[in-house]
Amino acid sequence: MQAQPMQRHQVVITDFVTGALAAEEQILGDLADVAALNAFAEEELIGRIEDADGVMVYHNFGITSRTIERLNKCKIIVRCGVGVDNVDHKFARARGIPVANVPDYGTEDVADSAIGMALSLARGVSALNSYHRRDTGQWKFKPVAPLQRLRGRVFAIVGLGCIGEAVALRAKAFGMDVVFYDPYIPDGRDKALGIRRAESLSELLADAYIVSLHCPLTDATHHLIDAATLALLPRGAFLVNTARGGVVDTSAIPTAIASGQLAGAAIDVLAHEPPAEDDPLIVAWRDPRHPAHHRLIVNPHSAFYTEQGFHDMRTKGSRAIRRALLGEPLRNVVN
């Protein structure tokens, strides 16, 4: 009697990835057929995802219970990135579907971006470039004065995960006094890294010269930075966000810069991407007459990007799918 061929699994990539799927097929090709759906909204998944054995999700939109309840045989949902706020992992758990992330794909890249943004703000690089792009007749550093020497200044980190740690080490290399706030990190991490720990957010912000955000977006961290917490900073501080857009109430930033409370801000992530034309942050950023215009850096959720990081994201996500399809122990399960 002739053996029946093994049925191939079906794996779908919901969004973001397009074109050739060589990275995924190299890892999954012997087990599964891989399809990139290139969807831009959750509704576009209807009728295309129900029979998937594995689902890979990026960040163009969220996967809610409406989609998860239609998955008939899914063995794993992989969020190909660090944050999992765009996947209803609690509902997936109730359905018996593990959700895993890829927590280390772009650690160096995001850390480099955060430090690069911080240096550009604190050394006046971006602001002076913006000021003098127009012929003002004043070829001087005065528009960004007063700038302070970085050595010995407090570099404040919110969230000491993999990326937060990488940023801490980079900031230490510049001689900065690195302090972090993260209530979920056990004691001793500060001693291992040679940095200081703040017991509360208000304690962290009180002496901060640069604040860099590296926490996930949760109910507890939504709008963690807003007008009230910005007021806790010393006048003339800088803010960098490469974490999640919803962690910051960005509508408070233009006012804080106009008042001088913030000397500048660098924002890589927004709550809604792309932003609406009437978003207060975007309006101020684009308006040459607004005081925040020269002191804002806004990037399109790109801090993670390098060719190597993008490759890691795809291959590490694919390996997570492979482990699930083969019934092997899973890694980085968040639910």
Does the active-site annotation cover 8? no
Q: Which residue in 273, 286, 311, 328 is the catalytic one?
A: 273
Own/partner contacts of 76-80, CB < 8 Å, gap of 24 or more, are 76/100, 76/320, 76/321, 76/324, 76/330, 78/54, 78/102, 78/317, 78/320, 78/321, 79/334, 80/16, 80/56, 80/105, 80/313, 80/314, 80/316, 80/317
Q: Which of 285, 240, 326 is nearest to 30 (CA)?
A: 326
Q: Which of 244, 293, 294, 322 is catalytic?
A: 244
d(CA 40, CA 43): 9
Dihedral Cα 316, 64, 158, 176, nearest 10 deg: 40
User: Is residue 294 flagged as an active site residue?
Assistant: no
Please state whether beta strands 237-241 and 210-213 pair in parallel, antiparallel, or not at all (unpaired): parallel
**Catalytic residue from among 290, 301, 319, 323:** 301
Is 222 an active-site residue? no
Alpha carbons 325 and 72: distance in angstroms, whole number = 15
Is residue 90 within 8 Å of residue 65, measured between CB atoms? no
Which residues in 173-211 are b (16+ Cβ under 10 Å) and which e?
eeebbbbbbbeebeeebbeebebebbeebeebbeebbbb
Residue 26 parent element (H or E): helix 22-28
Closest by Cα among 158, 139, 100, 111 to 332: 100
SS3 89: helix
Cβ pair 160, 189 in contact under 8 A: yes
Rg (CA), the chain: 22
Amino acid at 260: G
Catalytic residues: 244, 273, 301
